[in-house]
């Protein structure tokens, strides 16, 4: 049942049938009362005709007495084969009974049928006042005729069942047409499903939108866009793995060589020198692995989104304090311009990694006796972070390429993996911000980050 409830065919058919049954239920309810009104109308017309026949048979004899011989036709018109009983009453205007049942109930309005009870049976009763020639002052007589409901109810049932059968046929035909229409209408969607299933795991070329109806073509376009994004992502992942393997191969080979040299050296000074180089290479590969992990975590969808309140001014101060010792070794002047707290929402860990990579890059590429200044402020609803150094800078023609993974400017002497700015852009875009590069006034580079404020 769960699988059926998820079927588009079953859902559409159910909606159509529910609508039809709702409409038919209302129609049957309405037709029942229409059939009842029709049956009452026919019964009333028959009662009126019977009363007229009886009234026309009333006469006044020579002695002034009112007499009536009820014609058989007046009662036989109710003989419909259902065994109805007929009652009648003829009285004068002054209340004398001429013929019939004296206790027959009289309706409130003449010429209009009413439902009453008489001698343990429900009857339809109608009264007619009729003038009689020979009575003084144009006197009238009242003729009341009543009949049981058997033929009336039978007529109502027959009319209602006739309408019910037509409604049932309508539902059956509508259901059949709906099923055939759904089968025909869903055929292109099923062909699309089969076309996707038949494809190999590496086949991601676009599907032709013409294979489905116009209403489903946006779905095909969405599938094609998704497959194009998957292709691009797969290509990026292949490039990433290839570049990562290349970047890891060189330091690993260097570590192996340095370890071999250290193990063969008998001279303590040369062995210490080889071990120091080995430790430096180990730190380099450790940092590369850390950056690869950070970049992987910064990619969209790699981890559950977080919404931390992060003070960029406080984070920048703590990171600069952590790099102070390294900056002192190279006599680099570290500066921070942050007068107040600047709060943004996002992944706090990744935002700190962004600042770490910006500051690390600035210190790494600055010359000895240089300067690195970090400024944190607010502007037009955005937090603005600038990191300025007096290093070699980045040529304008390469400023977009430096955000690519493992891209390094030719002739750069400082060691690096080419992942710092790639990590920065991934984190900033994940936080809904932007990053830009520009020249520093005295030479060097200015990196500007804009992130929406909390």
In the chain, the domains with their CATH numbers are: 8-158 (3.30.450), 222-297 (1.10.287), 305-452 (3.30.565.10)
With a CB cutoff of 8 Å and minimum separation 6, the contacts of 18 are none
Distance (Å, whole) CA 231 – CA 58: 103
Question: What token pair was written down for 432?
Answer: 């809904």
Q: Give me the pLDDT at residue 197, please.
A: 79
**Total count of residues recorded for the chain:** 454
Mean pLDDT value of segment 369-385: 90
- Tens-place pLDDT, residues 242-288: 666 666 666 677 677 777 777 777 777 777 777 777 777 777 677 66
DSSP, res 215: G
Classified as helix, coil or strand, 439 is strand
- Tens-place pLDDT, residues 295-354: 666 555 555 556 778 899 999 999 999 888 888 888 889 999 987 889 988 888 888 888
Q: Give me the pLDDT at residue 374, please.
A: 93
Q: Could you tell me the pLDDT band of residue 1, with boundaries at 50, 70 and 90?
A: very low
With a CB cutoff of 8 Å and minimum separation 6, the contacts of 73 are 53
Integer distance in angstroms from the first to the last C-alpha of the chain?
Answer: 47
Among residues 25, 17, 310, which one has the least CA distance to residue 163?
A: 25
Classified as helix, coil or strand, 396 is helix
Q: Give me the pLDDT at residue 89, please.
A: 94
20-53 as b/e: b if 16+ CB within 10 A: beeebeebeeebbeebbebbbeebbebbbebbeb
Higher pLDDT, 416 or 87: 87
State how far the alpha carbon of 204 is from the alpha carbons of 196, 234, 272, 428, in Å.
10, 11, 55, 30
- Tens-place pLDDT, residues 170-194: 888 888 888 788 778 778 877 887 7
- Tens-place pLDDT, residues 14-46: 888 888 888 888 888 999 999 999 999 999 999
Q: Give me the pLDDT at residue 293, please.
A: 66
Distance (Å, whole) CA 176 – CA 183: 11
Give the residues across from 390 on adjacent strands. none
Question: What token pair was written down for 148?
Answer: 């049981």
Distance (Å, whole) CA 33 – CA 117: 21
Distance (Å, whole) CA 341 – CA 378: 10
Q: Could you tell me the pLDDT band of residue 52, with boundaries at 50, 70 and 90?
A: very high
Question: Is residue 337 within 8 Å of 376, Cβ to Cβ?
Answer: yes
State how far the alpha carbon of 58 is from the alpha carbons of 54, 90, 140, 213, 228, in Å.
7, 9, 10, 79, 99
pTM: 0.48
Give the residues across from 115 on adjacent strands. 124
Higher pLDDT, 305 or 146: 146
Q: What percent of the chain has pLDDT over 90?
A: 26
Mean pLDDT value of segment 398-415: 68
Mean pLDDT value of segment 140-160: 93
Q: Give me the pLDDT at residue 291, please.
A: 64
What DSSP assignment string belongs to 140-201? EEEEEEEEESHHHHHHHHHHHHHHHHHHHHHHHHHHHHHHHHHHHHHHHHHHHHHHHHHS-T
């Amino acid at each position: 049942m769960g699988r059926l409830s998820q079927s588009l065919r079953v859902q559409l058919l159910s909606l159509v049938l529910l609508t039809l049954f709702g409409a038919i239920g209302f129609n049957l309810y309405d037709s029942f009362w229409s059939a009842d009104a029709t049956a009452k109308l026919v019964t009333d017309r028959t009662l009126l005709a019977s009363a007229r026949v009886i009234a026309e048979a009333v006469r006044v004899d020579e002695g002034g007495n009112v007499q009536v011989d009820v014609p058989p036709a007046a009662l036989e018109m109710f003989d419909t084969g259902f065994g109805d009983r007929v009652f009648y009453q003829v009285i004068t205007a002054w209340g004398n009974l001429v013929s019939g049942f004296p206790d027959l109930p009289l309706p409130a309005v003449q010429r209009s049928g009413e439902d009453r009870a008489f001698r343990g049976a429900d009857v339809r009763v109608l009264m007619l006042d009729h003038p009689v020639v020979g009575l003084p002052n144009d006197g009238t007589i009242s003729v009341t005729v009543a009949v049981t409901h058997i033929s009336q109810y039978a007529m109502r049932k027959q009319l209602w069942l006739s309408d019910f059968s037509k409604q049932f046929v309508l539902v059956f035909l509508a259901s059949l047409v709906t099923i055939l229409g759904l089968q025909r209408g869903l055929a292109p969607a099923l062909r699309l499903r089969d076309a996707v299933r038949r494809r190999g795991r590496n086949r991601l070329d676009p599907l032709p939108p013409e294979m489905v109806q116009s209403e489903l073509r946006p779905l095909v376009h969405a599938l094609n866009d998704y497959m194009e994004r998957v292709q691009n992502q797969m290509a990026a992942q292949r490039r990433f793995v290839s570049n990562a393997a290349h970047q890891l191969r060189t330091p690993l080979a260097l570590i192996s060589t340095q370890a071999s040299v250290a193990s063969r050296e008998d001279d303590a000074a040369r062995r210490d020198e080889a071990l120091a180089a080995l430790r430096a290479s180990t730190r380099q590969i450790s940092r590369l692995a850390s950056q690869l992990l950070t970049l992987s975590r910064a990619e969209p969808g790699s981890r559950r989104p977080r919404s931390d309140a992060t003070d960029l001014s406080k984070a920048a101060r703590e990171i600069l304090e952590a790099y102070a010792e390294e900056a002192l070794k190279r006599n680099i002047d570290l500066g921070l311009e942050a007068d107040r707290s600047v709060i943004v929402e996002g992944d706090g860990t990744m935002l700190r990694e962004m600042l770490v990579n910006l500051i690390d890059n600035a210190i790494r590429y600055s010359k000895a006796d240089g300067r690195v200044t970090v400024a944190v402020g607010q502007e037009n609803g955005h937090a603005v972070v600038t990191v300025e150094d007096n290093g070699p800078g980045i040529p304008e023609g390469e400023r977009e390429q430096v955000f690519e993974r493992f891209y390094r400017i030719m002739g750069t002497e400082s060691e690096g993996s080419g992942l710092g700015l790639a990590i920065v852009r991934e984190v900033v875009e994940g936080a809904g911000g932007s990053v830009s590069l520009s020249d520093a006034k005295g030479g060097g580079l200015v990196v500007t980050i804009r992130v929406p404020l909390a």
